Structure 1
């Protein structure tokens, strides 16, 4: 597969964002609805033949399991189909950072941030458990944090349905599903799973956010599984002193060896964690000004040459001609990576950013357009030669707010073109 390929007659691949043992994940665009998407592929020919049937069933299960969870912490599912010998799942494209990378960068998260992230995870788990679903593979690699602090839980590919109707676990003989560092004791011995299984994994994730390392470490999977089964429960306060006794006790209970000794529900844990969360990262917080459409850090395409810049602009122009405004804006966002660094607001950069903002306006993405116009105006204010353009940007930003029914400070523009407070 390569950038530009069209899947299902409508999904255009833009750049790869992940690869696993059985497939790939690409960022793409839905040409029919002009929106960014993530496309997850199962490459059947890369799966061992004796595991192929299980993998296909698991992949289709992920589509059904994710689609039935209507929760802001779960990516929306748009489509499921086949492309040659491959299966593909089309989902909402999430911008942000993988929690595992965030922990690696910070080493230890603040108590408030860890609690806020944990509370949002609980909210998703509560919705899943209410739908009789258990994730079974919760880990920092399957959790994303968006630029506004919202948590998204990915990969319900090994989710288990609860109840007598689901007798098959879709596992290969003798194989335990889950990731060794976060697997619950009952999973290690092939026992029944339930909501308490996810709560144990949550305890492992919380411990890692606070301590900077998982609760147990080992050189191989069997030793890791034995530690989950038999080693004493670690105490988080031995790794940092600013964790309260109540929070440390919650972690201890989440990591209990017996499922019955763990908290009763994800909702109960969410209530406790919310009390420790930072106000700035309160679960459910949504920004009124969405971030730029640039891919998340670590997923940026390589910097392009100046020769490619004109090609990208031509591509964006053609897309706009066909009223695919959001996709055109995404192309220009990527074109910004091709502009050599130098003066912060070189003419080429200003032109690109104006085009991007106007494309969002044409697409009806008024909040994104408002954010783009306001950000550019603020930077232009620092120059001595672009004041007229800064005023134009603010007028456009005010027009964007009026389109979504908001007025206030930036929605009323005075004779000078500068915004003034509405009376």
Structure 2
């Protein structure tokens, strides 16, 4: 499809919003009702079935019955040039995937509030007898005014049913390996409790900074999910309310009969947790009242970051040399037990850190240079030496912590999202920007601010696969690379 094309003599394609395994999503203009919509074109090549339009119609009509503020509305459906399309409410905001990349783990209250919004959407959908089958961060949008919107109801179920009929000998499961319920990867289609399992996985990811299960590829993740019990949330983030860790553990039970049996039950428990969180955060009578703040902007509720190394001298002034050796480790080990070694480093002018508008923005914040390091995955029992992961790390130094915090917000809000230069090691030594193919490939970014320093790590693989199954591998590398950087001496301002 191309911009300007008219679908069903009504919807004019304006611009592509995304592309995935099931087709493309476009921003479109409804010429009849004069409004912008999101139009999803479903690519189901090889599934020429006589009853496909009927199945599509049934799923779409069912999804259209869900009317709820936490659900992106379905407006229309049809077939154009043998391509199935859905017309949905266009939701402006940021996916939960992008928000987790920018800031993770979430503060406690925010994580529970987002989970409650998702659960409210599931409660409305299940009441209409619609199961999502693919609840994951990419299908949740956080709007600018703080509303949680779940998208793609009815789509995953339809695609799963279509593939099941087309490949009668093998069920093609709906659901993402990191978040889909175990039964979806066996011989069962799943039910409402499968959506609740995925909700538990997302709540785990928001609070722990990673999904419950990780692995070398999708098959490894599913295998662990089928064979192992889910890890305990408090092993990754101690100090959470016992009621919350118990709820997450129940949602992640392998046996659907041992999970909460309805979204309504889960929502009641989430609402109770929100109430207790609000009570714990309320000022005491002896304290002067403070002006209300938006949940998304409340820095006091941010999740704790990893502790500073004991070797840092908190009493000294910040006289750290602006070099890779002073700011970056020579080696680090990520959460999957894989070791990375620094293979290239250097200091570059800030205008080489990204496109001109980003460089100008950082220059206005008195950041003239950036320290760059490139890390490569090392051989080991869990490594993939035939296709190693690389991490490009850039460290920015600003005049003070407030300026660094402002720059971090600029990146986290999408101002510089994914547009930073991705560095590689040059043959013969030194640094070189990666080719454009890396920017178009699947990669993972993690950023962390430590006082006046901002570290941004971008993980990628050499063969440039555009495959979300490697997400846990890349996320673990980028996350630990970012957290491992920082000054050896700082004054803590």
| Superposed CA RMSD | 2.8
User: How far does the alpha carbon of each residue in 1:342-365 deviate from its partner, in whole angstroms, 9 at most, with x for none?
Assistant: 9xxxxxxxxxxxxxxxxxxxxxxx
Kept after mapping to 1: 8 A contact 2:62/2:128? no
Aligned 1:242-261 pairs, distance under 5 A: 242-261=239-258
- Distance change (3 Å), C-alpha of 1:125 and 1:22: closer
Kept after mapping to 1: 8 A contact 2:204/2:212? yes
Aligned mates of 1:133, 1:106 — CA distance in 2: 32
Cα displacement (A) at 1:58 = 6.1
Aligned mates of 2:109, 2:252 — CA distance in 1: 20
- Distance change (3 Å), C-alpha of 1:57 and 1:229: farther
Cα displacement (A) at 1:207 = 0.5
Which structure is higher in helix share?
1
Q: Which residue of 1 is the match for residue 5 of structure 2?
A: 5
Cα displacement (A) at 1:63 = 2.2
Aligned mates of 1:76, 1:275 — CA distance in 2: 28
Q: Which residue of 2 is the match for residue 70 of structure 1?
A: 67
Aligned 1:174-189 pairs, distance under 5 A: 174=170, 175-189=172-186
2:88 corresponds to which of 76, 87, 91: 91
2:213 corresponds to which of 216, 229, 237: 216
User: What TM-score, normalized to structure 2?
Assistant: 0.51
Aligned mates of 1:208, 1:63 — CA distance in 2: 30
Cα displacement (A) at 1:3 = 2.4
Aligned mates of 2:227, 2:151 — CA distance in 1: 30
Kept after mapping to 2: 8 A contact 1:119/1:271? no
Q: Which residue of 2 is the match for residue 15 of structure 1?
A: 15
User: How far does the alpha carbon of each residue in 1:64-117 deviate from its partner, in whole angstroms, 9 at most, with x for none?
Assistant: 232121222222222222322322211111111111111111121111111011
Q: Which residue of 2 is the match for residue 157 of structure 1?
A: 155
- Distance change (3 Å), C-alpha of 1:108 and 1:262: same
- Distance change (3 Å), C-alpha of 1:215 and 1:152: same
SS at match of 2:273: coil
Aligned mates of 1:82, 1:98 — CA distance in 2: 28
SS at match of 1:215: coil
Gaps of 5+ in 1: 161-165, 280-337, 343-423
SS at match of 1:273: helix
Cα displacement (A) at 1:61 = 4.7
Q: Which residue of 1 is the match for residue 223 of structure 2?
A: 226
Q: Which residue of 2 is the match for residue 110 of structure 1?
A: 107
- Distance change (3 Å), C-alpha of 1:269 and 1:18: same
1:125 corresponds to which of 99, 122, 125: 122
Kept after mapping to 1: 8 A contact 2:157/2:174? no
- Distance change (3 Å), C-alpha of 1:157 and 1:57: farther
Q: Which residue of 1 is the match for residue 39 of structure 2?
A: 39
Q: Which residue of 2 is the match for residue 82 of structure 1?
A: 79
Gaps of 5+ in 2: 279-356, 362-493
- Distance change (3 Å), C-alpha of 1:50 and 1:38: closer
Q: Which residue of 2 is the match for residue 202 of structure 1?
A: 199
Cα displacement (A) at 1:52 = 6.5
Kept after mapping to 1: 8 A contact 2:95/2:138? yes
Aligned mates of 1:219, 1:56 — CA distance in 2: 38
Alignment pair present for 1:172 and 2:167: yes
Aligned mates of 2:167, 2:217 — CA distance in 1: 20
Aligned mates of 1:123, 1:53 — CA distance in 2: 36
Aligned mates of 2:45, 2:192 — CA distance in 1: 31
SS at match of 1:159: helix
Aligned mates of 1:108, 1:3 — CA distance in 2: 38
Aligned mates of 1:116, 1:152 — CA distance in 2: 12
User: What TM-score, normalized to structure 1?
Assistant: 0.60
